[in-house]
Amino acid sequence: MRLEPRAHTSMAMTILVPVGAAALALMSCSVLILWAGASPFLALTLLVKGSLGSVFALSETLTRTIPLIFTGLAAAVAFRAKLWNIGAEGQFYLGACAATWLGTGAIDLPPPLLIPLLFAAGAIAGGLWLLGPTLLKTRLAVDEVVTTLLLNFVVLLFVNWLVFGPWKDPMAMGWPQAEPVVDAALLPPLVAKTRLHGGLLIAVFAAVLFWVVMKYTTWGYEIRAVGNNQAGATFAGIPIDRVVIRTALLSGGIAGCAGVSELLGVKGYLTLDLSPGFGYSGIVVAMLAGLHPLGVLLSALFIAALSIGADSMSRALNISNYIADIATAISLLAVLAGMMLTRYRIRFR
């Protein structure tokens, strides 16, 4: 068996790979479900029903999609420039912190002004947080995978200190959480009696915006050039460091927005469980999307449906909802293998 490069990659292949990866992931989960003593067919039916089968299920899935779009974009734009930002989780929480700081009564503005202001604050906080590791990378060649990853824990400990200490809400009956944001800062619900909120519109708008930036602007052009061939971009006179720093601000900024959106749209107050790892899931979302901003919309929906559906399935069948995590992991592995197949073909002798 050997690999031979393909002359060109067909469009069908590009679409087939992620879809095939998703199918493969669900199929391999069937084996685990069978092992756990349930019927895979029933389980998968419940999974689909639980994620897309009713207005409520769909609204839950879409609510979960929102932060994944933001963090997926964060990974997608950074990875395009070969800036390996693994720190979206930390940037998420810092975004939420910034919004909590300004949104719990410090500023009194009507919603149309306050909400954009809080998003901006969150974006600045997230962006600046990624700036440090990026400067270490451009100035001293420090590996950003290590620094961004480790800074996540710094942020989590910082938030821990905030919600147990200075920001602890005295009205929360001892729970470690910050004061709730003011009513004017809350994102309005999109569908009555569900948790689905206006953050979805912002997330979709952000995805379209990122797509336009990457495809049609000189910024996007520079980011792609630097990511594809740094030596070539340097020779052509593209200011590499400036482009990487700009990318970091975009990536960290949009990850910060994820935190703001969850804070203002779902929880209303800062806690340590604001994110069940959205920052890390964003990496999977971006890879499944082939780092395409519009693809992020679909892959975020897929990952969200998988986790919401698995929750509901596990409750009904009494099997672990870790099945969803396994499916996510397998789909990522399948996509990575599949991406290679779009560029190479396997030959058997």
Partner 1 sequence: MGEATPLLSLRGITKRFGALVANDDIDLDLQRGEMLALLGENGAGKTTLMNILFGHYTADEGSIEIDGAPLPPGSPKAALGAGLGMVHQHFTLADNMSVVDNIMVGVEPLTRFRRNTAAAVAKIRALAERYEMDVSPYSLVKHLSVGQRQRVEILKALYRHTRILILDEPTAVLTPQESDHLFATLRLLVDQGLAIIFITHKLREVMAASDRCLVLRHGKVVFACRTATTSSEQLARRMVGGELPEVRRIAATPGDPLLELGGLSAENDHGYQLLDHLDLTVNAGEIVGIAGVSGNGQSQLADLVSGMIADFSGTFMLAGAPIEKPSPRQMVRRGVGRIPEDRTATGLIGDMTVLENLALESYWKRGFNRLGFLAAVPLRQRTAELLGRFDIRCAGADAPVRTMSGGNMQKLILARVLAERPILIVANQPTWGLDVGATAFVHQRLIEASREGAGVLLISEDLDELFAIADTIQVMYQGTLSPPIDPARTNAAEIGLAMSGQRDISQAMISARD
Q: Is 273 in the site for partner 1 (CB under 8 A)?
A: no
Tell me the per-residue interface mask from 4 to 33 with partner 1, x by CB under 8 A, - otherwise: x--xx-------------------------
Q: Is 228 in the site for partner 1 (CB under 8 A)?
A: yes
Q: Is 37 in the site for partner 1 (CB under 8 A)?
A: no
In this structure, is the dihedral angle defined by the CA atoms of residues 76, 80, 86 and 88, taken in order, positive or negative? negative
CA pair distance 243, 314, nearest whole angstrom: 45
Distances (CA, A) of 327 to 44, 115, 288, 341: 12, 35, 13, 21
Q: How far is the CB of 140 from partner 1 (least distance, A)?
A: 15
Of 115, 151, 233, 283, which lies in the binding site for partner 1, with binding defined by CB under 8 A? 233
Q: Is 320 in the site for partner 1 (CB under 8 A)?
A: no
Q: How far is the CB of 287 from partner 1 (least distance, A)?
A: 17
Q: Give the nearer residue to partner 1 in terms of CB position, either 174 or 235.
A: 235
Q: Is 216 in the site for partner 1 (CB under 8 A)?
A: yes
DSSP secondary structure string for all residues of 48-76: HHHHHSSHHHHHHHHHHHHHHHHHHHHHH
CB 152 within 8 A of CB 170: no
Q: Is 224 in the site for partner 1 (CB under 8 A)?
A: yes
Question: Segment near partner 1 (CB under 8 A), from 158-166, 201-209, 232-240, 317-325?
Answer: 232-240
Tell me the two tokens of residue 301.
Answer: 């929906």
257 Cβ contact partners less than 8 Å away, ≥ 6 residues apart:
70, 95, 119, 122, 123, 126, 202, 206
CB 108 within 8 A of CB 241: no
Q: How far is the CB of 238 from partner 1 (least distance, A)?
A: 8
Residues in contact with partner 1 by CB under 8 A are 4, 7-8, 216-219, 221, 224-225, 228-229, 231-239, 349
